Chain A
Amino acid sequence: MATFRLQGSKVLAVDMTGDTVKAKNGSMVAYDGQMAFKKMTGGGEGLRGMVTRRLTGEQMTVMEVKGQGTCWFADRASEISLVHLRGETLYVESSNLLCTDAGLRTGTTFTGLRGASQGNGLFTTTVEGSGQAAIMSDGPAVVLRVTPQYPLSVDPGAYIAHQGDLRQDFQSGVTFRTFLGEGGGEAFQIRFEGDGLVYVQPSERNTVGGDV
């Protein structure tokens, strides 16, 4: 299996011995040995997946990298975190996904109102199976543990991914004050309950929630 390691916090090195990984299109910065790059249509989920992706707006251009040697990936100087999956599902925005083991299945899932407040649409990408994935964030990501006793509320603009057995709930603190322009600036949150991990970046995307 391909080995993922971080070289610094912004460059991912993948050591390969004839195996395959899936990576964001154009994210290779260097390689040694022999590598072949092939674009996969519609995020590597076949025709049905492609249609779903088109419809859901969770567009992802992915390439298949096969080879022998080391391949280095990076994207716009984003910070990279490694996620180990053991038969679990990782939920991540397609724009935050850098690279996955080819053995992992990717798909699309409905997120409900959360996505709309994030400005990311109503759908998110899922990565399922056993292996490694690399996710990107603006600034070093913080991994927060959620247990049944300790639920967590996250700013939609700072959320990047989650894994484990978690329920997510959209919370809105919109009151009449918000409409008067007296809001606290934190009108929307996503609340996670259950057992799992949430990845949060120290930066906020522009969201509808940030303005109210």
Chain B
Amino acid sequence: MPFREVNSRVVEAVIAPGQKMFSQRGAMLAYRGEVSFTPNVQGGQGGVMSMIGRRVANEATPLMTVEGDGTVMFGHGGHHIQVIQLSGDTLYVEADRLLAFDGTLTQGTMFMGSQGGVMGMVRGQVTGQGLFTTTLKGHGAVAVMAHGGVIELPVTPGRAVHVDPQAYVAHHGDVRNKLSTALGWRDMVGRGSGEAFQLELSGSGAVYVQASEEKL
């Protein structure tokens, strides 16, 4: 458990020699001990190919590598921070919401169209998230940012969860997501309820939802 929640907006990570962490560039608030921060040109790990992948996918939030022996406090923009523990499963999250994560996790990029086909791509456009999302896989902890607090909703077979695309933060587990629309004639004439688009998550895992409909 490398993250300790100092309060709802600050987390502290223990950095041990030989271990690596990645964090969003400029997210360090304070540190103790001997710690070095190296800007990461590749924007994460996975080599040059992965870098090109992220550039093309516009998921290239600048990251830095944190190494050494000590403790580091992270926080950014006064946003709430949620620590998510991964045990072999995959976390799907927007790159700009990633505050810091364990260096042991494998970072990748996923094309939205591969889940839900054309609707997956429409989803990216509707939510303003683009066509790609970042994935983290393995055993370790991730700190993600959200506006307002975060609630974790379990997704179980037979009990799908629908989420407002603007309030969606991240999800993990064996979860399929698709954009569902309830566009009726009311929306066309401007009398809609404001809830025309939802993300439907089904399978088994969990989805993280923020208490706000504002983007970061």
Residues of chain A touching chain B, judged by Cβ–Cβ distance below 8 Å, are 7-11, 25-33, 35, 37-39, 41, 61, 63-64, 72, 74-77
Contacts and interface: CB of A to CB of B under 8 A. Distances in A.
A63 B195 contact: yes
Given A10-B148, A31-B161, A77-B148, A38 B193 contact: yes
A25 B210 contact: no
Given A10-B149, A74-B167, A26 B194 contact: yes
Contacts of B210: 29, 74, 77
14 contacts: A7-B151, A10-B148, A10-B149, A10-B211, A10-B212, A11-B151, A26-B194, A29-B209, A30-B162, A33-B159, A41-B191, A63-B193, A64-B193, A77-B149
Q: Top 5 A-B pairs ranked by shortest CB distance?
A: A77-B148, A26-B194, A10-B211, A29-B167, A63-B193
Contacts of B209: 11, 29-30, 72
B56 interface: no
Nearest to B190: A39
Interface residues of B, number: 27
A32 B161 contact: yes
Nearest to A26: B194
Nearest to B164: A29
Given A29-B213, A37-B193, A75-B213, A9 B149 contact: yes
B212 A35 contact: no
Nearest to A38: B193
Contacts of A64: 193
Contacts of A75: 212-213
Contacts of A38: 186, 193
Given A31-B161, A39-B186, 9 more contacts: A9-B149, A29-B164, A29-B211, A32-B161, A39-B191, A74-B167, A76-B213, A77-B148, A77-B211
Interface string B184-216: 001000011111001000000001011111100
Contacts of A29: 163-164, 167, 209-211, 213
Nearest to B194: A26
A14 to B, nearest CB: 14
B210 to A, nearest CB: 7
A72 B151 CA distance: 10
A63 B195 CA distance: 9
A183 B166 CA distance: 44
Nearest to B199: A30
Given A8-B151, A11-B149, A29-B167, A74 B211 contact: yes
A75 B211 CA distance: 7
B162 A35 contact: yes
Contacts of B162: 30-32, 35
A38 B182 CA distance: 11
B160 interface: yes
Nearest to A63: B193
A170 B95 CA distance: 51
Contacts of A76: 148, 212-214
B6 interface: no
A77 B212 contact: yes
A63 B194 contact: yes
| Residue with the highest number of chain B CB atoms closer than 10 Å, among A29, A33, A41, A74 | A29
